[in-house]
Chain A
């Protein structure tokens, strides 16, 4: 990489990527409702526009026009800041995900990711751990029993599963010999997708990922039968929308990270680059939706026992075995 990308190309690229991720988020809600509908033998949303394609836009208009209600005992500033923090960190994490090989157009260098940093993988995890604060602070500032219980559950669950998640990618880092996501993708292009040597790591990452994004069967932080809606019980309008956005974008980022780490990112036959990345991303997202419609929710003690007594030892053994293999083979 001899040419350096000028700053204004990075800026334009960032604007495009942010908007693409937001569009993907909007349509992911529609895809989820459609797929879930079909799996439950119904049609799903089909009134707004052809095949219900305008449904996300209708939802957005509804949310923006809705009154931003807040409880009188809520602690004002953290209550408003919480959804903003969550949405911001979720969007920012996507910056280091590589989605193409990079191109040179009219002598201008265009990299295949918004920011090519040497510690890309750590950055995604760091932003994720900051994003948790949105959920905790939001629940705490709402001054509501349901919200605070939801926050506590989110906090405990996310911290427990973050350990396994981080350990599960150690194998990939050792094989890729880098924390830079582009380099990990390049190495998979030369070698083979890391899902082959790191199948156990992939499974652990996937399970940990479901728990990190609080989706079924690990959706205890928002178990509606017990907690109304968890930490965002007292939120409405676009503030609620921002929390929802943060959750879905976290899911998109996590799926993108999984594609990058285990399924060789944008690599694929016929040099289609970003298109392969999108296809793999949609495939991963489909599996997440599929699981949500298939599996019942775990009990809280089952969740904690599984996280600490099954997933963490498995992730540790996987990391140690990979280290031994990398050193001695």
Chain B
């Protein structure tokens, strides 16, 4: 399956899916920053992460695609929506959209990154963009990725786990602190 996808890159279905997913990715990215209602922005971000997962699938990275949907489009974005739905309707949100210096800055930064990508692609590809690379069956499989995590990338993997642990502990401490202050206020009142 993996090799079939990679070898028949000229396959019309693969091209069609690639074009659609790419455009969906860009369009949802623009939608994230242009919707004035944060709930719709968050929904667009889910669409963005989903279309990225499709692009990963085209690169034979099935595990990464599933993890992307499960962790980012699933768990992380649920938290975003949860908070936005709690914060309430859009008049309570700090930024209502419309052009200002943030928009100008965002457009300039996006333009700069776009030019950079084009330049890097031009330098690296050497005038040849259709590079067919065959991959073996274990490429992108969960077992292979796990082996890489525990051999070549062990340090990065462990540091990430410690950073996440610190974040979790920090969250608990912040939550505890708020609760204690509430109790103190109640006692004083």
Q: How far is the CB of A61 from chain B (nearest CB, A)?
A: 34
B82 interface hit (Cβ, 8 Å): yes
Q: Name B77's closest neighbour in chain A (CB-CB).
A: A133
* A78 B70 Cβ-Cβ under 8 A: no
Alpha-carbon separation in the docked complex, A148 to B89 (Å): 12
* A118 B142 Cβ-Cβ under 8 A: yes
* B66 A136 Cβ-Cβ under 8 A: no
Q: How far is the CB of B42 from chain A (nearest CB, A)?
A: 10
Question: Secondary structure of the A side of the interface?
Answer: helix
Inside 8 A of B78's CB, which chain A residues have their CB? 129, 132-133, 136, 155, 158-159
Proximity string of chain B (129-168) to chain A, C-beta cutoff 8 Å, 1 when within and 0 when not: 0000000000001100000000000000000000000000
* B43 A129 Cβ-Cβ under 8 A: no
Proximity string of chain B (38-79) to chain A, C-beta cutoff 8 Å, 1 when within and 0 when not: 010001001000100000000000110011011001110011
* B70 A125 Cβ-Cβ under 8 A: yes
Q: Which of B78-106 contact A (CB under 8 A)?
A: 78-79, 81-82, 85-86
* B70 A155 Cβ-Cβ under 8 A: no
Alpha-carbon separation in the docked complex, A186 to B168 (Å): 39
Proximity string of chain A (21-61) to chain B, C-beta cutoff 8 Å, 1 when within and 0 when not: 00000000000000000000000000000000000000000
Proximity string of chain A (296-320) to chain B, C-beta cutoff 8 Å, 1 when within and 0 when not: 0000000000000000000000000
How many chain B residues sit at the interface, stated as a range, is: 20 to 34
A137 interface hit (Cβ, 8 Å): yes
* A130 B142 Cβ-Cβ under 8 A: no
Q: Name B88's closest neighbour in chain A (CB-CB).
A: A148
* B63 A151 Cβ-Cβ under 8 A: no
* A122 B66 Cβ-Cβ under 8 A: yes
* A152 B86 Cβ-Cβ under 8 A: yes
* B70 A126 Cβ-Cβ under 8 A: yes
* A159 B79 Cβ-Cβ under 8 A: yes
Alpha-carbon separation in the docked complex, A151 to B84 (Å): 12
Residue from the list A129, A137, A159 in contact with B70, Cβ < 8 A = A129
Inside 8 A of B82's CB, which chain A residues have their CB? 136, 152, 155-156
Inside 8 A of A130's CB, which chain B residues have their CB? 50, 69, 73-74
Alpha-carbon separation in the docked complex, A20 to B135 (Å): 38
Q: How far is the CB of B43 from chain A (nearest CB, A)?
A: 7
Q: Name B70's closest neighbour in chain A (CB-CB).
A: A126
* A126 B74 Cβ-Cβ under 8 A: yes
* A119 B62 Cβ-Cβ under 8 A: yes
A79 interface hit (Cβ, 8 Å): no
Inside 8 A of A151's CB, which chain B residues have their CB? 85
* B66 A123 Cβ-Cβ under 8 A: yes
Q: How far is the CB of B139 from chain A (nearest CB, A)?
A: 11
B residues sitting closer than 8 Å to A (CB atoms) are 39, 43, 46, 50, 62-63, 66-67, 69-70, 73-75, 78-79, 81-82, 85-86, 141-142
Extra inter-chain contacts (11) besides given A122-B66, A129-B73, A155-B81, CB under 8 Å: A117-B62, A118-B63, A118-B141, A118-B142, A126-B74, A133-B46, A136-B82, A137-B43, A151-B85, A158-B78, A179-B142
A-B contact pairs, 12 of them (CB 8 A): A78-B43, A118-B63, A125-B70, A129-B70, A129-B78, A133-B81, A136-B78, A140-B85, A152-B82, A155-B82, A156-B82, A162-B75
Closest 6 CB pairs of A and B: A129-B74, A122-B66, A126-B69, A126-B70, A119-B66, A140-B85
